[in-house]
Structure formats: structure tokens, C-alpha cells
Amino acid sequence: MATMSDIAREAGVSLSTVSYALSGKRAISESTRERINAAITRLSYHPHAGARALASQRAGAIGLAVPLAEDVDAHVVMMFVRSLMRAAHQASSEVLLVTGEDHEATLRVLAEGKVDALVVMDVVEDDPRIPALATAPRPVVLLGYPTQAQGIPRVDFDFEQATALAVTELHRRGAHRLVMIGSPSATQTRHATYADRATRGFRTACQNLGVSAHHLVHDHEVESTGQLVRTILADIRPDALVIHNESALAAIHRALSGEGVSMPSDLQVVAIAPRETTLLGTVEYTAVEIPVDEIGQAAVAAATELIEGADDVGDQLIAPSLIERDTTHPLTPGSTR
């Protein structure tokens, strides 16, 4: 049986172009459409074969497009991969990993029926994959929250509210000069949705509360963590940090200790990170924890519902909560939550 990939090769076009031609959701030239139609005729391709698989035709697997970008923390990526694999196993599905940066390969696993649905990680604002994924022959779920998803369901942690919550709770504990150490500059430049939303939440909350706000990025290979911390202490003199950079948490603690700074008496700190990255043994960060398992379960649940024939599963943003540990002051008497 011919596949969409066969049609693409026969017509000399990309897989995404074939998807657009069949769905009619994006304009293509008449000559290109004629080549695709001719290839369909020669190969006896039936468009319904590229539609969502019937139960008897299912692959029994969910695809996971994982990122390979150098600025992404591989340890955190693997946390999400494990959570998605566990959730898929509970749903009686296997997981097929594909390289998220290879757009054609990502589309191919859908078109060739190798998976019943695809979960896409590391989504950026204006993600170039979205137009083709929106017309894919099988369900797609975005593990990320771009402004425009063209109807593809989105599942993610509410990073904007997470940093806003961190700012609010630090302010309630007396903080007035806040610094956020955010994702690496490459992550900010390519506008990963989690980084954009976390930054926006921090800045908006600080503005609303009338507190001093400084947002910094930290590239480990360019500037040592010790130098960054010394610069912050000397130039800004903050009374609180919000850290949204998992790979920097241990190094920041070491650098602060090296400068004689004690948490929370000298400096309060809240981390935005998965639980296991905030528990360092020598210190346990107060944190707005990224609920990796809950996010994975929600993404797989959405994919499974679509596989079973649901027309629309909607979007899901998982709400944040603060876990108080070693690096913030307790609320003063009379404070209310």
C-alpha cells in the first residue's frame, strides 16, 4: 500500500507539501498539485489510508519528538521522556522517539502509520513545524504553549503563573529587589515557549507589585556561575532570586556559599524546576515545582483521547503551587495565603 512518503518521493516534493495538497489547508501551485495528483494515480494511493487509523490498523505506539538543541538540559528532557513512557505504558501504548528538529522525519512517522499520535516537545513561538502538523493525518499534541497552535491541542505547565507566584510569595516575605536567572540566551533567542512565558510572568508580577526587577540569562560556557553571582551581588544587591535554570541550581548554591551569602537570611531564593533538581542534599530549594509526571500524563491522555476518536480535547495548563523549604523566610505572623 502506497504511503504519503511514497507520493512525496514520486512527485519530487516534501512530505509537508503532500499533506497540504491533500488537506487543502494551504495554497500550493497548480503545477505542484498536478505532480502530486499524477503520483497518486500512478501509485494507486487512496487518501483515506492516510487518515486516522482505525482500531484494527493501529500501530500501538505514540511518537515523541524530542529536542536535540544544545541549550536544552538533557537531564530534564529525559525526565519528561520517562514520564511520557510511563503514561503511555499505562495506556497500553509503546513510545517511538523521533528527532524533533528533523521536520520531515517527524511527519514521516505520522504519514507512514508508524505511530497513532505524536507528542511534540520543545515548542517555540511561531514554531515552523505547526502548519504541517496541523494538517497531519494522525493526532498531534504539543508539549508547549505557543500563542498560535492552529487547532493542535496544547499541554504544559503554566510557567507564566509559576514565576508570578514566586514573585508574589517572595514579596509577601519582604523582598523588594528581585533578580530572575532565566534560561540560556539561545533558549531565549529561539523563543522556547516555556522561557518566554516564565520571563513574562516575572516581569508582569514585579511591575504589578511595584518591586525592582532584573532579568538575566546564564550561559555556563560563556560566563562562570561564580562571576555571574558576584556581578549580581555587587551591582544589583538583590534580596531575592528566582531561578528558572535547572542546570545552574547547584552551581548557584556553591557560588553564594563561596561569597559568604546565606539563604534565606541574606538572600531568599525560589527555584522553578522539577523536584529532583531542587533537592541538593546540602540545601533544599523552596520551589515552584514543574510537575513532570503530571504533564506527561496529561499529554498522553490527550493523545489517547484523540486516537479513540475525540474531535477536540482542548488545551491544558497545569497550575503551579509553592513548596516551602530552606531558602525562603516563613510568612510573618498575621500573613494570609
Structural domain containing residue 300? 59-156+292-318
Does a structural domain hold residue 330? no
| Cβ–Cβ < 8 Å for 325, 286 | yes
In this prediction, residue 221 carries a pLDDT of 60
Q: What is the C-alpha separation between 241 and 227, in angstroms, rounded?
A: 16
In this prediction, residue 213 carries a pLDDT of 97
Residues 182 and 284 occupy one common structural domain: yes
Residues 26 and 45 occupy one common structural domain: yes
Q: What is the C-alpha separation between 53 and 50, in angstroms, rounded?
A: 8
pLDDT by 10-residue block (mean), the chain, 337 residues: 75 77 72 90 66 59 88 90 93 86 80 92 93 91 96 97 99 98 92 97 98 90 81 96 95 94 97 95 95 95 89 92 96 61
Residues 208 and 249 occupy one common structural domain: yes
| Cβ–Cβ < 8 Å for 150, 131 | yes
Residues 122 and 74 occupy one common structural domain: yes
DSSP code string of 261-281:
--TTTT-EEEEEE-HHHHB-S
Q: What is the C-alpha separation between 286 and 327, in angstroms, rounded?
A: 5
Does a structural domain hold residue 40? yes
Counted domains in the chain: 3
Q: Which of 18, 50, 54 is nearest to 37 (CA)?
A: 18
Residues 169 and 279 occupy one common structural domain: yes
Q: Which of 123, 294, 277, 142 is nearest to 194 (CA)?
A: 123
Does a structural domain hold residue 331? no
In this prediction, residue 335 carries a pLDDT of 57
Does a structural domain hold residue 333? no
Residues 43 and 24 occupy one common structural domain: yes
Residues 205 and 143 occupy one common structural domain: no
In this prediction, residue 262 carries a pLDDT of 96
Q: What is the CATH number of the domain that holds 213?
A: 3.40.50.2300
In this prediction, residue 18 carries a pLDDT of 77
| Residues in Cβ contact with 231 at an 8 Å cutoff, skipping those fewer than 6 apart | none
In this prediction, residue 15 carries a pLDDT of 66
Residues 11 and 90 occupy one common structural domain: no
Does a structural domain hold residue 176? yes
Does a structural domain hold residue 337? no
Residues 187 and 219 occupy one common structural domain: yes
Residues 279 and 301 occupy one common structural domain: no
> pLDDT for 220-257, tens place per residue?
664 688 999 999 999 999 999 999 999 899 999 999 99
Does a structural domain hold residue 113? yes
Length of the chain: 337
Does a structural domain hold residue 323? no
In this prediction, residue 215 carries a pLDDT of 96
**What pTM was estimated for this model as a whole?**
0.81
Q: What is the C-alpha separation between 73 and 50, in angstroms, rounded?
A: 35
Residues 212 and 254 occupy one common structural domain: yes
Residues 285 and 178 occupy one common structural domain: yes
Burial 261-297 (b: 16+ CB within 10 A, else e): eebbeebbbbbbbbbebbeeeebbbbbbbbbbbbbbb
In this prediction, residue 224 carries a pLDDT of 85
